[in-house]
Amino acid sequence: MPSEPARSTNTQSHSKLRSLRHHPMLRWIDAKFVHRPRIYLVQSILAGVVLVGILIAEDALTNGAVVAAVASSVATVFFLPHSVASKPFRLIGGHVSAIAAALCTVGIMMLLPDAVAGNQLVIHALQGTSLALVILFMTVTNTEHAPAAGTALGLATSVPINSVIFILSAAVIISIVRIALYRHLHNLI
């Protein structure tokens, strides 16, 4: 007898969730979120805490594109922790590929006369070249990690050592966090 009221309450709860999910104003809410909001909230908060921790620990004095690339890596790991793109080898390798691509474009820039290198069209061409190179390097080395494209873009015309240290140490920290929390994280997509 005690199981009957529990089953009835559980059924009522599910029907409320279904009706809530199909409400015209709430159709854009992911069905998985409606059923397991705690996982989404916890992983979102953890991602924010990890990024804040990285920025504080490293006293990030680097350009915005590089910080955005690292933030994108954190988001990828917490959105899809069980995906191929979140594996430490790809995360770290993707950013290493991006640094290598940026070093190539900076090398090209150093060969150009100052009047040409300062031209905005040339800078945009170097940024496009950096993106093309990072895609090539990542696919050849099997280290595909899309957020690393932001690293290549941010470093396309200048590769300061503090940015390189920031990127590599952040990638290692993100990888360590993923390894430590792997069993507790869920794919959110």
- One-letter amino acid of 90: R
The pLDDT of residue 115 is 81
What is the pLDDT confidence band of residue 184, given thresholds at 50, 70 and 90? Answer: very high
Tokens of 57: 């620990």
Out of 13-17, 68-72, 143-147, 173-177, pick the least confident: 13-17
pLDDT in the model for residue 117: 80
User: What are all long-range contacts of 18-22, with beta carbons under 8 Å and residues at least 24 apart?
Assistant: none
Residue 29's pLDDT is what? 76
- Whether residue 100 contacts residue 56, with contact meaning beta carbons closer than 8 Å, is answered with no
Mean pLDDT of the chain: 87
Rounded to an integer, the average pLDDT of 140-150 is: 96
Identify which of 54, 53, 57 has the alpha carbon closest to the alpha carbon of residue 95: 54
Dihedral (C-alpha) 18, 24, 30, 31: value to the nearest 10 degrees? 10
**In a 10 Å sphere around its CB, with 0-12 CB exposed, 13-18 middle and 19+ buried, how is residue 8 labelled?**
exposed
Q: Are the beta carbons of 49 and 77 closer than 8 angstroms?
A: no
- Under the banding of pLDDT at 50, 70 and 90, the label for residue 116 is confident
| pLDDT at 49 exceeding the cut of 70 | yes
Task: Name residues whose C-beta falls within 8 Å of residue 12's C-beta, 6 or more positions apart in sequence.
Answer: none
Model confidence over 85-115: pLDDT tens digits? Answer: 999 999 999 999 999 999 999 999 999 898 8
CB 153 within 8 A of CB 113: no
Residue 82 to residue 137: CA distance in whole angstroms: 23
| Confidence check: pLDDT of 6 > 60 | no
Collect all residues with Cβ–Cβ distance below 8 Å to 186 and sequence separation of at least 6: 36, 39, 43, 81, 82
pLDDT band, very low/low/confident/very high, at 59 (cuts 50, 70, 90): confident
Q: Which single residue is written with the structure tokens 């950013």?
A: 95
What's the average model confidence in pLDDT over 45-73? 87
| pTM for this prediction | 0.82
